[in-house]
Amino acid sequence: MNILTNRKIKVVIGSELLGILLVILLGVLLLINDIPYAVVWLLAGTVVLELLVLFVILRYFKEQNEMLETAQKKINEYLSGNHEVRLECDEEGELYKLFHKVNSLAAVLNAHAENELHSKEFLKHTISDISHQLKTPLAALNIYNGIMQDETMDPADFKKFTTLTEQELDRIETLVQNLLKITKLDSGTIALDRSVEPLFKIMEDVKKHFLIRTQQEGKQITLEGETQITLFCDKDWITQALDNIVKNAIDHTEEGGLIQIKWRQLAALVQVIIIDNGSGIHPEDMHYIFKRFYRSRFSKDTQGLGLGLPLAKSIIELHSGNIEVDSELGRGTTFTINFLIPTEL
């Protein structure tokens, strides 16, 4: 996340750098001119400059806090029926980009409601779920910004809460991105750019995508399949679908977990199998795992958004494929994806 695109953050960082330069300059001048009590003057100057910098930082986070509170109020206003309300996103920065995407999402949902009668019910339920998903990270952001306004905060704690803030922003951005993709699929506006793709290259890309995470968490992804097998597909969309399924597998395996990705060609179809040795799916959840925003009461996953598997299923079905699930609680889950071979149709 490039935080330096935000003008206000540049001012905060610039103020800190300017303060450091002024302290250095003050020290040099005191030493050159052999001023009595130079150390005392230098210390006093440092304290004054750092207080000024702290003031700039606290003012920045106060503005951020007010902006997030305004955003939350506007989201609630939108949910109350005012579908013309929008978040202000005229400046540069990641947060404003996020607000712009939220506005785009609202516009897409409104268009859905106007064009198709059945989508009105879809809009009602979707907005309710979006509200639930957005309120949690927004509330967390408000808390973090409030804490970071404490003048006595230790720099290490300040850095920790800055990292937590970025994580919550990433979470909201992921939600909005997935919702936009699902909405495009629902509206039928996606034009697949299909070509014959080597399946093993797609699988290697999926493995590389999660390489750092699996290394950090002590997990392993293995690939098994013939290199000559191809798939007639839109590579970007299929990679997205497989990414979501593999991510789900990683999320539900413990340290030392193994995720196996296999593929093979049968008489009339190409089959992809993703196996994990994780926690498995509770029998009561099996019929709902592809339902949007579904959160199992048995799952320990508190960060999931409930959109990854529904999005994967929609993409696979758009490619005339189907997905099956087999799971045993406490032993793992197997996703089997079948793609018909066009020449065999």
The domain ranges of the chain are 3-187, 195-344
State the number of CA atoms in the 13 A half-sphere of 19 facing the CB. 21
Q: Which residues contact 212 (CB under 8 A, 6 or more apart)?
A: none
- Distance, in Å, from the CA atom of 313 to the CA atom of 322, rounded to the nearest integer, reads 7
If we measure between CA atoms, which residue out of 175, 182, 196, 174 comes closest to residue 318? 182
Q: What is each CA distance from 271 to 19, 26, 38, 111, in whole angstroms? A: 62, 71, 77, 37
- Distance, in Å, from the CA atom of 91 to the CA atom of 203, rounded to the nearest integer, reads 39
What is the pTM for the complete model shown? 0.53
- Bridge partners of 271, per DSSP, are 264, 338
Residues 157 and 185: beta-carbon distance below 8 Å: no
**pLDDT value, residue 1:** 47
Q: pLDDT truncated to tens, each residue of the chain (345 aa)? A: 455 555 666 666 666 677 677 767 766 676 677 666 666 666 776 777 777 777 777 777 777 777 778 878 887 877 777 777 777 766 666 677 777 787 787 777 777 666 665 555 655 655 665 665 666 677 777 777 788 777 677 777 777 778 777 767 766 776 777 777 777 777 676 778 889 999 999 999 999 988 988 998 999 999 999 999 999 999 989 998 999 899 989 989 999 999 999 999 998 899 999 999 998 888 888 888 888 767 666 565 545 556 788 889 989 998 989 999 999 888 999 999 999 987 544
Residues 223 and 185: beta-carbon distance below 8 Å: no
| Inter-helix orientation angle 155-187/94-115, to 10° | 20
CATH of the structural domain 195-344, one choice from 3.30.930.10, 3.40.50.720, 3.40.50.300, 3.30.565.10: 3.30.565.10
Q: What is each CA distance from 152 to 48, 133, 147, 148, in whole angstroms? A: 15, 32, 10, 9
